Chains A and B, each alone.
Chain A
Amino acid sequence: MAPVIEINGLSKVYVRDVIGFENGRLRVRLKDRRTVALKPLDLTVEEGEIFGLLGPNGAGKTTAIKILMGLHFPTSGDARIMGRPLEDNSVKAKIGFLPENPFFYDYLKGEEFLDYYGQLYGMDKASRRRRIPELLETVGLSHAAQLPLRGYSKGMLQRAGLAQALLNDPKVVFLDEPQSGLDPFGRKEVRDLILSLREQGKTVFFSSHILQDAEMICDRVAILHQGERIAVGALSEMLSAKVKEYEVGFSDVPKEIVEKTKKGAARFVERPNEYLAVFDKEDEARAAVRAILDANGMLESFIARKETLEEYFIREIEGKREAERAALANGGKS
């Protein structure tokens, strides 16, 4: 089956105007006019996937999404959604889009706003009447339907933005930082919402730098750093292939067992009559557990800790930065 989203060598270089306003002041700029926001990017997203585009601030996530939404034109490369080019209105009819920090006409009431956007989707009056209360309920804004958007909090606006992205019952949903501005409950609700979208067979493409949230719901992710794709794949593969740790927590054991365990452990944390040993290898950990039990000690916990996305992320990006620094230093010498 053809991928829902195909991105081929998409890149973007921003070139600032020679004369332009910067921070409200007119300035002439001759040097440093180019910003490489996205290096040639290849990605495919399959139907029914939740795909996470991850990366630190300024990595190029928003740039990629803006190009996909036809708001920016790529410097090179192209992309297709459901097999058709981006500017095709038949494609736009089947997608939903939530920009980062969305802003809407703030003089409109929640309901009026969705009604207007429904008209832009070409929905008739009857289906708007049916769909809008339903959606307000889904995003938890039923109580604010008659309130002008001017009176919405940041999180409420984010929810309104989600509602407008789902108006047309889209096949593919693009969400740029859907959880920004939301409290922990809101974030959980958005996670659940994204999962329920997948259950309905929709494809979700979203960007985030909140890794825990991404980790919980993504089928696959791509990691961007300084415009470059440094990793892509199924989360399960990406993380489980990496080093695992084994955590053994215990108490009430004789001194010599503590000493023995401490010697074998990669890391060891000691509190009064409470110990935590971390092992790199499984058999070492098992041996330690056996020793503790044999000595009639108390086994508090035995956890095979997988690497979190955050650790992976930091390691990969730190590695990149290290390599850059080294390259820079070499360049300086020669």
Chain B
Amino acid sequence: MAGKIAAIALNTFKEAVRNRVLYVLLFFSVVIMLGAWVASTLSIDDETKIVRDLGAGAINFIALLIAVFVGIGLVYNDLDKKTIYTIISKPISRWHFLVGKYLGLLLTIAVNVLFMTWIFCAVLYLRGYLAGDVMYEALYFVDDEGYLNYRGVFAHLFYLVWSAVKALVFGLLHVVMFGMEGVLGIPGAAATQGLFMTSVLTILEMAIITAFAVLFSSFSSPTLSAFMTVIVFIIGRLNQELYLFADTMVQRAGGMEALGGGQVVAYYFSVVAAHLSPNLAVFNQRRELAEFQDIQLGVMDISYGIAYTAMILTIAAIVFNRRNFK
């Protein structure tokens, strides 16, 4: 059974990797990261803060788009093109298919998030190496007579290429060392602090969102599924604000009894939505990232993510078990 689910997951990953949409999204993420770099040079605030904030935001946003578009597309394709016929008639249960598909999508998202993290770390390192003072120190020297000398165009070019290579290597180290490459004493490593953890949080967040994408596409059209998945994401992100909103409303009115008709509806809507939706706020620590504070990932958060995902997938399996394939 595990072998069959793994086979489905790996095939899903294969399918996703050959999906053109994925590359468009990845390209887009690189554009945002470079854009963040440019934007930071125009800012008067602490530059690194802005780059880190925008970059991590880009990774999160692109991961969401992958979960929504690639995720829904792959489930829908199987139903629409009827590949599902020959799969479901093999000795597997329907939920094996669903879970395999889900795990394949999650693998796709994880690999892509880590890939984007690598590229983003490389951008941060490169940004450090090309910073004015660092670069001038490498390219100019003061000779014996006290004159300032330029090392020449070739040295300049070499410096650029060498910086890029170093940035890519150190960026990769960040990912494979779980964000701990700083202990090697790599120059400029401080800029990437906390990024790996932020990406792990993004993957956990997308684990929940992808479960919803699979749930919705197990019974509705792709457009509607995409729409509903994005709504869940937004409500999940605003989860805490919804409670706050409901409370504030009651306080302002001076008690539940004083609420008007429309307000009562708004109150219950907010409270119910807040209760049902996943609390995604715990996975969003971009403020802490920007401030170079520690990113918190507790056992509770991980357990919460897994339990919530399992619940949604169970519902998806129940829905999927009952449907006729057109």
| A positions within 8 Å CB-CB of B | 21, 66, 69-73, 87, 89-90, 92-93, 95, 97-99, 102-105, 107-108, 116-117, 119-122, 161, 164-165
Please state if B89 and A116 are interface contacts (CB–CB under 8 Å): no
* Distance, CA A22 to CA B65, complexed state (A): 28
Is there a chain A Cβ closer than 8 Å to B8's Cβ? Answer: yes
Q: Could you say which of A70, A104, A121, A164 contacts B88, with CB atoms under 8 Å apart? A: A70
* Distance, CA A44 to CA B225, complexed state (A): 42
Please state if B89 and A70 are interface contacts (CB–CB under 8 Å): yes
Using Cβ atoms and an 8 Å threshold, which residues of chain A touch B324? 71-73
Is there a chain A Cβ closer than 8 Å to B43's Cβ? Answer: no
Q: A73-B324, A105-B15 are in contact. Are A120 and B82 (CB under 8 A)?
A: no
**Most chain B beta-carbon contacts within 10 A, residue among A70, A71, A72, A108:** A71
Q: Mark B20-40, 1 if CB is under 8 A from A, else 0.
A: 000000000000000000000
Q: Mark B85-107, 1 if CB is under 8 A from A, else 0.
A: 11111111100000000000000
Label chain B's interface by main secondary structure.
helix
Q: A72-B324, A120-B4 are in contact. Are A97 and B86 (CB under 8 A)?
A: yes
A-B contact pairs, 16 of them (CB 8 A): A69-B89, A71-B84, A71-B324, A72-B324, A73-B322, A89-B91, A90-B91, A102-B85, A102-B86, A105-B15, A116-B7, A120-B4, A120-B7, A121-B91, A161-B86, A165-B86
Please state if A89 and B92 are interface contacts (CB–CB under 8 Å): yes
Is there a chain A Cβ closer than 8 Å to B149's Cβ? Answer: no
CB B72 to nearest CB in A, in angstroms, measures 16
Q: Could you say which of A21, A71, A108, A161 contacts B325, with CB atoms under 8 Å apart? A: A71
Q: A71-B325, A73-B324, A119-B4 are in contact. Are A103 and B89 (CB under 8 A)?
A: no
Q: Could you say which of B14, B87, B91 contacts A93, with CB atoms under 8 Å apart? A: B91
Using Cβ atoms and an 8 Å threshold, which residues of chain A touch B83? 103-105
* Distance, CA A121 to CA B87, complexed state (A): 10
* Distance, CA A66 to CA B82, complexed state (A): 12
Closest residue of chain B to A118 (Cβ to Cβ) is B7
Using Cβ atoms and an 8 Å threshold, which residues of chain B touch A122? 3-4, 91
* Distance, CA A284 to CA B87, complexed state (A): 60
* Distance, CA A181 to CA B15, complexed state (A): 27
* Distance, CA A92 to CA B87, complexed state (A): 11
CB B56 to nearest CB in A, in angstroms, measures 32
* Distance, CA A105 to CA B86, complexed state (A): 11
Closest 9 CB pairs of A and B: A119-B7, A120-B90, A93-B91, A92-B91, A97-B89, A89-B91, A99-B85, A72-B324, A103-B81
Is there a chain A Cβ closer than 8 Å to B252's Cβ? Answer: no
Is there a chain A Cβ closer than 8 Å to B251's Cβ? Answer: no
Using Cβ atoms and an 8 Å threshold, which residues of chain A touch B11? 105, 108, 116
Is there a chain A Cβ closer than 8 Å to B221's Cβ? Answer: yes
Please state if B91 and A117 are interface contacts (CB–CB under 8 Å): no
* Distance, CA A200 to CA B325, complexed state (A): 32
Closest residue of chain B to A91 (Cβ to Cβ) is B91
Please state if B86 and A104 are interface contacts (CB–CB under 8 Å): yes
Closest residue of chain A to B87 (Cβ to Cβ) is A120
Using Cβ atoms and an 8 Å threshold, which residues of chain A touch B92? 89, 92, 120
Seed contacts A90-B91, A105-B11; 15 additional CB < 8 Å A-B pairs: A69-B85, A69-B88, A70-B89, A71-B84, A71-B88, A72-B324, A72-B325, A92-B90, A95-B89, A97-B89, A99-B86, A103-B82, A104-B83, A108-B11, A117-B86
Using Cβ atoms and an 8 Å threshold, which residues of chain A touch B14? 107-108
